């Protein structure tokens, strides 16, 4: 016999939705939903199951409520966020922490009682006149040991629709878990709307309650603030993973073939503007995921899954030549949500970098638009926002990997860490060991700013594992979790560093855009010991002859010795300066493992010994060949 549901649920849900909630057989889920129905006070509540009917209901609601509008191509829609709601709100994204928490020293936080009081006051009666959508998703493939359940409450049909594209359905998964208390929770409201966009962005808040594994988001629609299952759930997962001995990482997951077509899988962490998407989507290889992975050990090997099933990608400069798979998906019938781009009078989308066919007029996030339009500060408004996005399913890409939905995950043979560095690091390098790689290549990851981002080039941003913004544990503990992960593995994945942005004395890049194919092939061949390498003080680097042959076979391109020497010369003064920079940074954090400083010291000693023997700048020919 089914338990009697609380009166607040009976008053807000019709019988069909009550039945869907009862069928879960989960009192904790019901209590969570009940609490926020009472607080937010919606007019009615819709419970989304995995049925096509329920999924279609949310898609239609997005059109009906004008949070999205249909475009000319079948299945394509456009969503606009308000002019002041175009990116992740880092200042108002805070952890709700108790007094005395050691995490307070390294993250943006608010005292627990104050934070809960503030966010609950903002949520009080915020859904009056609206419909609440209760959705269930799986973070990871269905029926997988990797996957976690997420319960999302929102009043935005656009958010619910986006999550349906980005994540696997979780209603039936939750039923199978028979009353589990282990699920992530998300509560979102777009708040009061004006022109179908969040009005009170001055009261935008994104608060993360680690204790209850619950994320609050209010007075915002931008997906980076509202699609809780993305970077917000990554924060929850990092904490959970640290307790349970697995890894939650900000990484792509892709398959790379050797010269005979044999595939191996790699994860890669790259900060923004460092080539992450272009690597994951490289032609001739396959993609499993572009953003977030969970990594677990099984039978002394590392396996990973893509947490998501879709891509929420920056659309600026996506074009037919550089991004053929994505571009084709964005111009083919099927489910696509564009956000904050320009729509012309024929209901066709346009974005910066698409092509040269700029329409004479249209509608974008600022309203009606034509070339030369300016904002209230007198700045020219571009046709689409620089952070404009597309939302698609990975399964709609032609290069999707056959193991994309494999609940067992895929075995990981290597981890790749990519920074942006104009004067120090070579294009590709293999670490000397797991510990050396985690410390010197992963935890020491840096990215230089570009003129486009801050108006000043060369400022170095410290971003360990490209995950700094999302850490929910101390940096020291996070590094230790990564170090310890190898203890359960017989042969840990090999670790590599790449840098596509090295410049010569003339300021020009020493790599072409397509050269990353070669660095990736070299990495692929190294994990199977098909190529030897040179032993440098900073790691293993390629031999010239191997790269020469790869350039000829893969790109039909001549690779000169001069290019090789420029790219792989060891720049000792710059490398020593980096060691000193990151050492100083690490000393400012608590709980940094002693081995971090030992690895830095050991690399510094190797470099100084090399410097005494060969000078400041050492050609690769000086290094010994090793297996």
Residues classed as catalytic: 274
Contacts with 25 (C-beta within 8 Å, 6 or more apart), sequence order: 175, 178, 179
* Tokens, residue 450: 């570009």
Cα-only R_g, the chain = 25
Task: Collect all residues with Cβ–Cβ distance below 8 Å to 548 and sequence separation of at least 6.
Answer: 559, 564
The β-bridge relationship of strands 389-393 and 109-111 is: unpaired
Tell me the angle at which helices 27-40 and 112-123 cross, rounded to the nearest 10 degrees.
70
CB 414 within 8 A of CB 264: yes
d(CA 21, CA 175): 10
Q: Are 207 and 472 in contact (CB under 8 A)?
A: no
Q: Which residues contact 43 (CB under 8 A, 6 or more apart)?
A: 12, 127, 128, 129, 130, 131
Residue 377 CB partners (closer than 8 Å, separation 6+): none
Token digits of residue 503:
């410049």
DSSP secondary structure letter of residue 235: H
> Is-contact 397 477, C-beta < 8 A?
no
DSSP label at residue 339: E
CA nearest 214: which of 170, 260, 152?
Answer: 152
Question: Which DSSP string do the residues of 237-301 spell out, in sequence order?
Answer: HHHHHHHHT-EEE--EEEEEE-TTS-EEEEEEE--TTSSHHHHHT-TTSEEEESS-EEEEEETTE
Tokens of 371: 């070339």
Sign of CA pseudo-dihedral 412, 270, 292, 261? negative
Q: Are residues 255 and 265 in contact, defined by beta-carbon separation less than 8 angstroms? A: yes
Cα(202)–Cα(2) distance, integer angstroms: 44
Q: Are strands 93-97 and 205-209 parallel, antiparallel or unpaired?
A: parallel
């Amino acid at each position: 016999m089914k338990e009697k549901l609380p009166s607040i649920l009976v008053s807000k849900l019709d019988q069909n939705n009550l039945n869907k909630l009862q069928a879960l057989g989960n009192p904790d889920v019901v209590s969570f939903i009940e609490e926020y129905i009472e607080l937010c006070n919606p007019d009615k509540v819709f419970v989304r199951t995995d049925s096509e009917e329920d999924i279609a209901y949310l898609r239609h609601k997005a059109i009906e409520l004008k949070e999205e509008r249909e475009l000319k191509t079948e299945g394509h829609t456009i969503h606009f966020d308000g002019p002041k709601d175009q990116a992740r709100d880092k200042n108002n994204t805070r952890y709700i922490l108790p007094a005395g928490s050691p995490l307070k020293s390294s993250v943006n936080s608010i005292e627990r009682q104050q934070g809960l009081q503030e966010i609950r006051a903002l949520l009080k009666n915020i859904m009056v006149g609206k419909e609440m959508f209760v959705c269930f998703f799986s973070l990871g493939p269905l029926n997988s040991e990797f996957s976690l359940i997420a319960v999302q409450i929102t009043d935005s049909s656009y958010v619910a629709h986006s999550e349906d594209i980005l994540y696997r359905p979780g209603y039936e998964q939750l039923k199978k878990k028979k009353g589990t208390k282990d699920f992530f929770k998300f509560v979102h409201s777009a708040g009061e709307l004006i022109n179908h966009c969040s009005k009170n962005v001055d009261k935008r808040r994104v608060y993360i309650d680690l204790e209850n594994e619950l994320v609050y988001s209010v007075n915002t629609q931008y997906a980076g603030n509202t699609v809780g299952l993305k970077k917000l759930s990554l924060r929850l997962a990092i904490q959970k993973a640290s307790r349970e001995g697995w890894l939650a990482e900000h990484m792509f997951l892709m398959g790379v073939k050797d010269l005979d077509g044999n595939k191996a899988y790699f994860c890669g962490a790259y900060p923004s503007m460092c080539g992450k998407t272009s690597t994951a989507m490289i032609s001739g290889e396959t993609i499993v995921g572009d953003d977030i992975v969970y990594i677990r050990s099984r039978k002394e090997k590392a396996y990973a899954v893509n947490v998501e099933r879709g891509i929420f990608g920056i659309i600026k400069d996506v074009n037919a030549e550089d991004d053929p798979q994505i571009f084709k998906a964005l111009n083919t019938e099927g489910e696509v949500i564009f956000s904050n781009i320009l729509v012309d009078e024929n209901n066709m989308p346009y974005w910066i970098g698409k092509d040269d066919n700029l329409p004479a007029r249209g509608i974008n996030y600022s309203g009606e638009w034509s070339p030369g339009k300016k904002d209230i500060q007198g700045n020219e408004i571009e046709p689409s926002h620089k952070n404009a996005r597309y939302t698609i399913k990975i399964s709609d890409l032609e290069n999707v990997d056959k193991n994309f939905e494999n609940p067992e995950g895929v075995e990981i043979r290597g981890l790749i860490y990519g920074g942006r560095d104009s004067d120090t690091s070579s294009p590709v390098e293999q670490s000397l060991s797991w510990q050396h790689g985690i410390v010197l290549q992963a935890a020491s990851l840096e990215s230089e700013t570009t003129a486009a981002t801050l108006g000043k080039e060369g400022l170095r941003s410290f971003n360990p594992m490209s995950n700094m913004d999302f850490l929910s544990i101390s940096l020291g503990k996070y590094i230790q979790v990564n170090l310890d992960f190898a203890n359960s593995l017989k042969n840990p994945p090999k670790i590599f560093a790449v840098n596509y942005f090295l410049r010569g004395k003339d300021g020009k890049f020493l790599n072409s855009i397509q050269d990353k194919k070669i660095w990736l092939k070299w990495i692929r061949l190294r994990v199977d010991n098909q190529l030897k390498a040179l032993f440098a003080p900073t790691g293993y680097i390629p031999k010239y002859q191997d790269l020469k042959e790869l350039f000829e076979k893969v790109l039909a391109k001549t690779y000169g010795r001069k290019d090789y020497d420029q790219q792989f010369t060891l720049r000792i003064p710059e490398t020593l300066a980096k060691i000193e920079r990151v050492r100083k940074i690490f000393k400012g954090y608590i709980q940094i493992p002693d081995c971090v400083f030992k690895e830095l010291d050991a690399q510094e000693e190797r470099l100084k010994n090399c410097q005494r023997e060969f000078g400041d700048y050492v050609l690769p020919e000086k290094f010994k060949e090793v297996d």
